[in-house]
Amino acid sequence: MSRIAENLTQVRQQLRKSAENAQRNTADITLLAVSKTRPADDLRIAYQSDQRHFGENYLQESLDKINELSDLAIVWHFIGPLQSNKTKAVAENFAWVHTIDRLKIAQRLSKQRPSDLAPLNICIQVNISEEESKSGCLPSELTQLAQDISQLPNISLRGLMAIPKATDDPAEQLAAFAKMKSLQLELQALHPHLDTLSMGMSGDMDAAVSQGATIVRIGTAIFGKRDPKSPT
Ligand SMILES: *Cc1c(COP(=O)(O)O)cnc(C)c1O
């Protein structure tokens, strides 16, 4: 078995265990394979092990892979920072965008979404650790932003996404994810269909699942360490 296939088996086992510990159904949690900086062949290997959801951060790199892998039924998620001059290609090529933190970007995506495609699934990124350098809207801005985005025609607002401040302290990890869960519950009072919490990476998947993650975004644990020279 290839290394990637072995890793996938292991990550799926861990995910099952985390779900069991949290008394949750594994089927309610989507494993998103984060494939930034990886060659298309690595994604093909993961696909052959039944992986269907892939997350990409860099637009040009992702368009090359989408083109090269067009024979596969991949569900593409955009999880990188998105500038307004790049929205068109994202609206045309992705099923999900996890990193919306401004109304303007969502408006453009809605306008540019081709009418023969299903509405674009969107998560609002929350700057949950309130770090100055981080993208994401502040928790205090969330209600208004969700209200505005939910009015857009070709967008399906699905939930929230976060990249909490990196820490090895399990208590801190749990606290950030618990805050996300409570924000989701607050929003669900107004928008009952918001079913998605995109949170948890290779280093904190278990904590995220324990607090209700429905999409975990896993790169390193599936594909191995990224080249430190490439961005993030
Ligand atoms: C790179 C990345 C991940 C995956 O991180 P790993 O630690 O490699 O699992 C998840 N989410 C986002 C937004 C990323 O940029």
Tens digits of residue pLDDT in 174-231: 999 999 999 999 999 999 999 999 999 999 999 999 999 999 999 999 999 998 765 5
CA of 221 to the centre of ligand 1 (A): 10
Count structural domains, the chain: 1
CB 219 near ligand 1, within 6 Å:
yes
What the block records as the tokens of 98 is: 């996890």
**Which residue of 11, 79, 167 sits with most ligand 1 atoms within 8 Å of its CB, as the best mutation to test the pocket?**
79
The parent domain of residue 40 ranges over 3-223
* Residue 229 belongs to some domain of the structure: no
Atom nearest to 57 CA in ligand 1 = 15
Neighbouring residues of 21: CB distance < 8 A, sequence distance ≥ 6: 206, 209, 210
* Residue 230 belongs to some domain of the structure: no
- Residue 125's beta-bridge partner residues? 161
What the block records as the tokens of 71 is: 């024979």
Instruction: Name the DSSP letter for residue 192.
Output: T
What the block records as the tokens of 70 is: 């067009």
Residue that wins the pLDDT comparison between 133 and 13: 13
* Residue 102 belongs to some domain of the structure: yes
* Chain segment 165-186, per-residue pLDDT in tens: 988 899 999 999 999 999 999 9
Neighbouring residues of 110: CB distance < 8 A, sequence distance ≥ 6: 120, 152, 153, 154, 155
Residue 230 Cα to chain centre, angstroms: 20
* Residue 193 belongs to some domain of the structure: yes
- 134 pLDDT band, cuts 50/70/90, is confident
CB 129 near ligand 1, within 6 Å:
no
What the block records as the tokens of 33 is: 């394979």
CA of 97 to the centre of ligand 1 (A): 14
- 133 pLDDT band, cuts 50/70/90, is confident
Atom nearest to 203 CA in ligand 1 = 7
Taken as a whole, the chain contains a residue count of 232
CA of 219 to the centre of ligand 1 (A): 6
- 99 pLDDT band, cuts 50/70/90, is very high
Closest residue CA from atom 11 of ligand 1 = 217
What is the pLDDT, as a whole number, of residue 168? 87
What the block records as the tokens of 65 is: 């892979």
What is the spatial distance between Cα 218 and Cα 216, in angstroms, rounded to a whole number?
A: 6
* Residue 58 belongs to some domain of the structure: yes
Residue 148 Cα to chain centre, angstroms: 21
pTM over 0.95: yes
46 CB burial (10 A radius; 0-12, 13-18, 19+): buried
- Residue 75's beta-bridge partner residues? 53
CB 79 near ligand 1, within 6 Å:
yes
User: Alpha helix locations (H) across 22-130?
Assistant: 40-48, 59-68, 87-93, 103-112
Residue that wins the pLDDT comparison between 52 and 228: 52
* Residue 153 belongs to some domain of the structure: yes
* Mean pLDDT confidence for 148-168: 96
What is the pLDDT, as a whole number, of residue 231? 54
What is the pLDDT, as a whole number, of residue 230? 58
CATH number of the domain encompassing residue 42: 3.20.20.10
* Residue 87 belongs to some domain of the structure: yes
What is the pLDDT, as a whole number, of residue 229? 60
Q: How far is CA 46 from CA 68, 88, 170, in A?
A: 15, 28, 29
What the block records as the tokens of 34 is: 């984060």
What is the pLDDT, as a whole number, of residue 152? 98
Q: Which residues of 103-128 are buried (b: 16+ CB within 10 A; e: fewer)?
A: bebbbbbbeebeeeeebbbbbbbbbb
Average pLDDT, the chain: 96
* Residue 228 belongs to some domain of the structure: no
What is the pLDDT, as a whole number, of residue 69? 98
CA of 56 to the centre of ligand 1 (A): 9
User: Alpha helix locations (H) across the chain?
Assistant: 3-21, 40-48, 59-68, 87-93, 103-112, 142-149, 170-190, 205-210, 220-223
